[in-house]
Amino acid sequence: MIHFHNYLKQSKELVTKVNFEGIKCVHVVMGNESCDLDSTIAPLALACFYANDKYRCSDIKVIPVMNVAADDFPIKTESNYLLDKYKVDKSNLIFKDEINMTWLCQQERLKITLVDHHILSESDSHLKCCVTEIIDHRPLDKASEWDKNVRFILSQVGSCCTLIANEIFQIYNRCLCTVAQLLYETIVFDTIGFKPEAGKSKELDFTMAEQLEKLLKPTKTRLEIFDELWAAHNDVSALTTRQLLSKDLKQIGNVLIPGLPMLVQHFISRPDFEHAISSFFSDKNGEAIIIMGLETEDGITRDIAFYPVGNDVVKKLQQRILADELQLEEVANSLEQLNVYKQNNVLHSRKYLIPIIKDTIAEK
């Protein structure tokens, strides 16, 4: 069995080979473009599992790819924290700008497993023919069209790492130690420490967490683990306002949806906020920005903001979302270009809103 740390080192060495010399096929396991904790750990764990099981005696090499440029990874604070905690050498991670998947696709030497998303970004749409498997935990996107030969696992659990753990436990009753730790803490983080009021935990999340706990025998409670990761997520002291907008970004067409580790109401008080959001909007060629804030100190609190006020796309999105069941209540603010709302129905996260946003902009 290949040790996790050695596996990552061997994988990184593969991408340095000229044209992947001597390798028949490369199987890439890749998360979504936000490269949040779930989309960092899920491909690492699944790729290592496949290397030890599915491709152990094969000339196919499986590698995890972080769906972000290497220079953008330092702003993923909780991902960096967790990898550092378990002494994962981040120089052995493979980033999107370090592998030429287009060339491998043209050479018919590429297979792709998508985890934590089931729609390719526009820039990756040409790779669709290489996708052989999808494992995701978000609601089905109506625009999703995949060949019947693509293995498609879609289950709305709290964390994609829950589904990855389930894949592993269906084959083995054990899991590599570091992989088990990474999966377990990510599941705890994504379910917000299994707090009932968050409404994020499903039966399979509980089952996988309990199974991993039997292996790991953690000395900290789930809430203590969540609080530790949430503190890392919130440790944005080294990040600029602009970097915070990019830290946990989802993008649908030209609609930008940053997720914040704080309430929007607090974020907009930063002195450089107006300049940061204006340049962010311009550089990303945005049509609308929907900022979603989250605070967990005294229960769960969420808020949401729309930018820029008066834009036709923003008006349409704002009208549609206000009519939904988020129970939005406008909060006064001093910025002319921004509408801020308290979200009284805190059960609905960004994952819930994304299909609504897609349907709305499709009506243009």
Task: Tell me: pLDDT of 57 over 80.
Answer: no
**pLDDT for residue 206:** 98
Task: Please give the average per-residue pLDDT across 25-34, as a whole number.
Answer: 95
Per-residue pLDDT band for 287 (boundaries 50, 70, 90) equals very high
What local confidence, expressed as pLDDT, does residue 364 receive?
A: 59
Q: In this prediction, what percent of the chain has a pLDDT beyond 90?
A: 76
Global confidence as pTM? 0.82
What confidence tens digit (pLDDT) does each residue in 204-260 have?
A: 999 999 999 999 999 999 999 999 999 999 898 889 999 999 998 988 889 999 999
Q: Give residue-wise pLDDT tens across range 321-347.
A: 998 889 999 999 999 999 999 999 998
In this predicted structure, the answer to whether residue 183 has a pLDDT above a threshold of 90 is yes
More confident residue, 34 or 113: 113
Full set of structural domains in the chain with CATH:
4-227 (3.90.1640.10), 241-362 (3.10.310.20)
What's residue 186's pLDDT?
A: 98
- For the stretch 79-98, pLDDT in tens is 999 999 999 999 999 999 99
Mean residue pLDDT of the chain comes to: 93
- Mean pLDDT across the stretch 45-66? 90
pLDDT (average), residues 292-309: 92
- Report which of residues 298 and 340 the model is more confident about: 340
> How far apart, in whole angstroms, are the C-alpha atoms of residue 269 and residue 325?
28
